A = this chain, B = another copy of it.
């Protein structure tokens, strides 16, 4: 079941069609992104990429993330404090809850809130282009 591999090749082809050259560093990064289940930052992507392509540079990681962001392939998040973190734009929209003790990032979605956002913006005479909705909290202790 190398569904993984096929999906990756499709991914690469989609970009090639958009005029993006598939280079060795980019191939490594795409592979990492399609496997990642978390929200790695540039340095973490760099570390993971080194394991695949030992000649890759941090600049290239940054340049590639900007490229992919422009192409709409990834999303960039700037959670409180830390450096930018990334994730594939594949799935549907969701927001994040960050565990301030562990740093864990939990995804959630509330259609209710998304609707309310539109209402609020509309009432103020605006059209929402994008939004940032992050909850910062800690595990509820006791019962």
Q: A residues touching B (Cβ–Cβ < 8 Å)?
A: 78, 80, 97, 99-100, 106, 108, 110, 112-113, 116-117, 120-122, 124-140
Instruction: Count this chain's copies in the assembly.
Output: 2
A120 touches B108 (CB 8 A): yes
Could you say which residues of chain B place their CB within 8 Å of the CB of A137?
A: 121, 126-129
A116 touches B110 (CB 8 A): yes
B132 touches A80 (CB 8 A): yes
Q: Could you tell me the distance between the alpha carbons of A113 and B136 in the complex, rounded to whole angstroms?
A: 15
A136 touches B127 (CB 8 A): no
Supplied contacts A127-B138, A131-B134, 15 more A-B pairs, CB within 8 Å: A97-B121, A97-B126, A108-B124, A112-B116, A113-B113, A121-B137, A122-B140, A125-B139, A126-B138, A127-B139, A128-B137, A129-B136, A131-B135, A132-B132, A133-B134
